[in-house]
Amino acid sequence: MKNHTTLKIGGPARRFFEPETIEDMAQILQESLEEEAPLFVLGNGSNVLFPDEGYDGWILHLGPNWSGIELVDACRLRVKSGTTNQELARFTRLAGLAGYEFASGIPGTVGGAIVMNAGAYDGETVDVLESVRWLDRRGNLHVAAGEELDMGYRHSRFSDEFGVIVDAVYRLRPGDTKAIEQRIDELTQKRWSKQPMEAASAGSTFKRPAGSFASKLIHESGLQGLRVGDAIVSEKHAGFLINAGEATCGEFLELVRQVQEKVESDSGIRLELEIRRPDAAADAARDAALRRQAETEMEEGEEQED
């Protein structure tokens, strides 16, 4: 999986799918459940750390194979979940629609941005999200309004509940094309000047703790440059742990542990990992519970018929 993630870490998956239709997605979801194969949904591969041994299950990849943007009306866009944030920001600039500039430099897809309510520079996905179409683990299609998604800081309904985001409708506002372009350029320049955009990373490694910033605490603990193998705390931005070559998942997690322990020792604050860690065993347990639930529902239905 190292070839499909921005951190460049991780072993192989059992199977890897790139669906081209909603029907394809639904079939993959249904078949993997029937075959008792754990399943993980992957977008652009940012904000994720796969184990060195890989993922003993199926990967449902929604990237360039599932991207596209269409105008619904003057201020609304329907966007496929595999579309990158950069692509959407670029489209809004050309269309003269303001509101998504904040996400122009966020790595990853809009699907991933919805799952974690991605945000930056005083903007969040929830600010512009109107509705989402998504598939549950059984392949059933649902529609939910933005306010139904329990969106908070780096959290949404999909942080706790399985769902494959198919597409989303964004509500933006009319804006001046030049002003939008200027804001996007400004934020892009700011990112490149302050963050290790040239390095392999998963993005910000830790969530922002209440009342402070992870990067500030790590910097104050003197941890920039700390290294475990090829996993390093960035000298450019303390909030980024990067892969400087051939880092392993084990090395990266050991670096995470050392950073967490030193920061907690110095400040009393335990940093929480923001990066997702696919776990085939946990996904298998989730699916087993779902199958048991389906069997119970079927048995109850048969009893009622009798």
**156: annotated active-site residue:** no
pLDDT grade, residue 302 (50/70/90)?
A: low
Give the pLDDT of residue 303: 60
For residues 30-35, average pLDDT: 93
Give the pLDDT of residue 291: 82
For residues 206-228, average pLDDT: 97
Domain boundary assignment for the chain: 2-63, 65-180
For residues 32-43, average pLDDT: 93
Q: Which of 18, 130, 254, 274 is catalytic?
A: 274
pLDDT grade, residue 304 (50/70/90)?
A: low
* Per-residue model confidence as pLDDT tens digits over 80-122: 999 999 999 999 999 999 999 999 988 889 999 999 999 888 8
Q: Which of 154, 183, 191, 276 is catalytic?
A: 154
Strands laid side by side in the 69-71 sheet: 69-71, 76-80, 164-171, 129-135, 141-145
**227: annotated active-site residue:** no
CA distance 58 to 263: 36
**Residue 300 pLDDT > 80, yes or no?**
no
**Residue 128 pLDDT > 90, yes or no?**
yes
Which CATH architecture fits 2-63?
Answer: 2-Layer Sandwich (3.30)
CB-based contacts of 34, cutoff 8 Å, min separation 6:
none
CA distances from residue 230 to 56, 57, 248, 257, 259 in whole angstroms, order as listed: 25, 27, 8, 15, 15
CA distance 112 to 63: 11
* Side chain identity, residue 229: G
**46: annotated active-site residue:** no
Fold for 65-180, please state it.
Answer: 3.30.465
* Per-residue model confidence as pLDDT tens digits over 185-202: 999 998 889 999 999 999
Q: Which of 46, 81, 131, 204 is catalytic?
A: 204
* Contact status, residue 49 vs residue 254, Cβ threshold 8 Å: no
* Contact status, residue 234 vs residue 194, Cβ threshold 8 Å: no
**Residue 171 pLDDT > 70, yes or no?**
yes
> Rounded to two decimals, what is the model's pTM?
0.88
CA distances from residue 168 to 76, 83, 182, 267, 301 in whole angstroms, order as listed: 10, 11, 26, 40, 35
